[in-house]
Amino acid sequence: MNAQNKWNFDTVIDRINTDSIKWDSAFLKEYFKGEDLLPLWVADMDFQSPQPVIDALVKRAKHGIFGYCAESSEDYLNTVISWFNRRYGWSIEKDWIIYSPGVVPACNYIYQRFSQPGDKIIIQEPVYYPFARGITANGRIVESNQLQLENNYYTINFTELEKQLKDPLSKIFVLCSPHNPVGRVWKKEELKQIGDLCLENEVLVIADEIHCDLIYPGFKHIPFASLSNDFAQNSIKTSSGTKTFNLAGLHYSNAIIPNEKLREDFKAQCTINAATIPNVFGGLALQVAYDQCEDWLEALIDYIVENFKYLQDYISDKLPDISIIPPEGTYLAWMDFRDYKLEGKKLQKKLIEAKVALDSGYIFGAGGDGFERINIGCPRETLHEALVRISNAVKDF
């Protein structure tokens, strides 16, 4: 039996009536304005988490007392240290690991603590849309260092970035690594150039590496802070196992902060936001996943890679006017519909009429219009059905 069969990613599991934002929330119906949609939008997967995680959570639930959760145990911290060592050859220390209820909350605390209202925070659009939302909600200004697309490949506009970093109002740079939605796994030279420029201009780096475990064969994720002590001292890594093991609803993440002053400030901001006491299930799930479920992760990556091939073959066979940016990481794929010459909202409307919910490119900011992000973290049957619906949506363009 190969690993994929062992884990059976092909099983379609009904998620209706499970309070899933992706499948049955009021938000889904209101935002997309449609019913009976097949949802391949928000970034969680339609796979069960690995069995050891489920077993550990069931055992904990059967205890039946769900009082306040203690701080991270020594065992838990050792597990996190071992994960980054094993998978990335990166040594981190116990003190550096700080709980937060999520990567997005952690980013917001960082904006609040390390910048002032009216300051600029640089992001690389088209990018994960809650970054811009959090920046503006906190009264800061979004400065977009738009990625450049040439021959179906995204790169960084360093000339513009350098100018943006030199602006005294720029205080924070948000590195999305791997990048959601364009799927780039940044190379060492790119990361070094970013790190050097941020140091030179005294701009703090948030390294959002939440997708770092989901890397396609042939690519390698390099933790930003692992590149040099100077980079480590000038950055906060936000991480979590929630993408890797499909645990997003448990709301648990780790900020990894080698610099003591940054760490103390970050912790103080968590206290201000009353975000210091974890959910009892979150750390447990992550610990079991990191300790016992690496084989599940390898099988998952194989399945995602095959899903991407399926998507690519289907598109080139039946929908040749759409092109896809080949992902290097994540379970998301960025599809280019611009040949249809339809404005993003109209394209979205057509897709919804065909009963498929994707994340429309325009919500990812500059450079996103005319693209759609599809979540391929689902059984192949679901992906196939979505592709049939996409074909129906575009057939009269």
Ligand X SMILES: Cc1ncc(COP(=O)(O)O)c(C=O)c1O
Cis amide leading into 126 (omega within 30) = yes
- Strands (E) in 124-265, as ranges, are 141-144, 148-150, 153-155, 170-176, 204-208, 235-239, 253-256
Instruction: For ligand X, give the closer residue by CB, 128 or 362.
Output: 128
Tokens read off for 229: 């002590």
Residue closer to ligand X, measured from CB, 124 or 253 = 253
Helix (H) or strand (E) holding 110, with range, is helix 103-114
Does 7 sit near ligand X (CB under 6 A)?
A: no
Residue with tokens 């196939």: 384
Question: 324 forms bridges with which residues in the sheet?
Answer: 335
Which amino acid is present at 16? I
> Applying CB under 6 A, which of residues 49, 115, 239, 242 lies at the interface with ligand X?
242
Candidates 49-57, 96-104, 167-175, 269-277 — which segment interacts with ligand X by CB under 6 A? Answer: 96-104
Q: How far apart are CA 190 and CA 158, in angstroms?
A: 9
Between 283 and 355, whose beta carbon lies closer to ligand X?
283
When asked if residue 172 is in the footprint of ligand X (CB under 6 A), the reply is no
- The one segment of 98-106, 157-165, 218-226, 381-389 that binds ligand X by CB under 6 A: 98-106
| Residues in CB range of 311: below 8 A, 6 or more apart | 324, 333, 374, 376, 383, 387
Compute, in degrees rounded to 10, the torsion defined by CA atoms 382, 384, 387, 389. -70
Q: How many residues bind ligand X (CB under 6 A)?
A: 13
137 DSSP assignment: H
Q: Is 43 in the site for ligand X (CB under 6 A)?
A: yes
CB of 242 to ligand X, least distance (A): 5
Is residue 125 close enough to count as binding ligand X by CB under 6 A?
no
Looking only at residues 250 through 279 of this chain, which bind ligand X when binding is defined by CB under 6 A? 253
Which of 40, 56, 77, 103 binds ligand X (CB under 6 A)? It is 103
Using CB under 6 A, pick the residue from 56, 156, 161, 176 that binds ligand X.
176
* C-beta of 180 vs 259, nearer to ligand X: 180
Q: Which residues bind ligand X (CB under 6 A)?
A: 43, 102-104, 128, 176, 180, 208, 210, 240, 242, 248, 253
